[in-house]
Copies of this chain bind each other. A is one copy, B any other.
Amino acid sequence: MGAYLGKGTIELNNAPSILSYASAVGPKEGQGPLANYFDYIGEESTLGESDSWEKAEVILQKSAFRAALEKGKLAETDISFIFAGDLLNQCTCSSYGIRDFDIPFIGLFGACSTMAEGLGLASVFVESGVAQNAAAMTSSHFCSAERQFRLPLNYGGQRTPTSQWTATAAGCAVVAPRKDPPYIKAVTFGKVTDMGVKDVNNMGGAMAGAAWETIGAHLANTKQSIYDFDMILTGDLGMVGSGLLIDLFKRDRIDIANIHADCGMMLFKNKEQDTHAGASGCGCSASVLCSVILKRITEGKLKNVLFVATGALMSPTMIQQGESIPAVAHAVHIGG
């Protein structure tokens, strides 16, 4: 049974398994370095049948979910609960995506931390026996996110060097009682952390403090050090945020540079694909986790990964009112 270790950390003594996982991405992501790991790559940003960016994102979630069911040889009725959320106002793509399925829905908002938040909750539910199988899912779409959070694409605005490219991607993982690896060993839910950043084109800067806070809490509460992990995988800090995170740990006299990786720096060939500081969006960490990372853990190539999805809880309304951007990060220890 799970145990509370204090300050946000839960140890999962029965360590439930990730029974199945899948990812669905857009064409730009399909031209990136992880192309071979994705289950579904759309030919166009509209993902074929949709007549809006939002509806395209709904298709991404449905595709990832259906692929996860298929890969796990699962029926819709095998899923007790689905934990999902996304970046769009009113978590549109999750509720419209899940509308077609007959599955109890627990809606989340954690911005780009959603994959870790959902995976953590699904794991607690399975560990404690209140769910048989539980799915965690999230998505993002470059075009729907840009017009909601920044400027309409048609405006053709210049992107700053610190800006990240919202991934057109979705990921879904199904957690089940302990059987085969990958196992979920522990979870730390993070606190809201505000670095005072007000620049909507510097999400990495806004989120680095939350990642530092949550990783630190996880290590302290579980009495582990960074050397207990093969990889500390942050959500989507990108180049700017990753640099800041490494610097924050340096102040603690801890050098994480060799153990740290960031989903935002893995999804694209950043220079070639002109994605500036890297990738971002809920779908970034979700699709990187639910492809190459979980595959490598399954194959035994990675033994212990601390997956730390980071979310900038950025509200354009509050930014217009002069407020800074709070952030949150949740950590999930996934092991072989």
Contact = CB atoms under 8 A, between A and B. Distances in A.
B96 A318 contact: yes
- Among A7, A92, A98, A104, max chain B CB count under 10 A is at A104
Nearest to A128: B128
A103 interface: yes
Interface of A: 1-4, 7-8, 10, 51-52, 54-55, 80-81, 85, 88-92, 95-96, 98-99, 101-111, 117, 121, 124-125, 127-132, 148, 188-192, 194, 313-318, 321, 323, 326, 328
Please state the number of chain copies in the assembly: 2
A104 B190 contact: yes
B192 A1 contact: no
A8 to B, nearest CB: 4
B191 A103 contact: yes
Nearest to A134: B4
A110 B317 CA distance: 20
- Among A3, A85, A131, A192, max chain B CB count under 10 A is at A192
A91 to B, nearest CB: 4
Nearest to A316: B89
19 contacts: A4-B129, A4-B131, A88-B315, A89-B89, A90-B109, A90-B315, A90-B318, A91-B313, A95-B313, A95-B315, A101-B192, A104-B190, A104-B191, A105-B328, A106-B108, A107-B117, A107-B313, A124-B128, A148-B317
Nearest to A92: B315
Nearest to A194: B99
Contacts of A89: 89-90, 315-317
A125 B101 CA distance: 26
Nearest to A10: B130
A55 B321 contact: yes
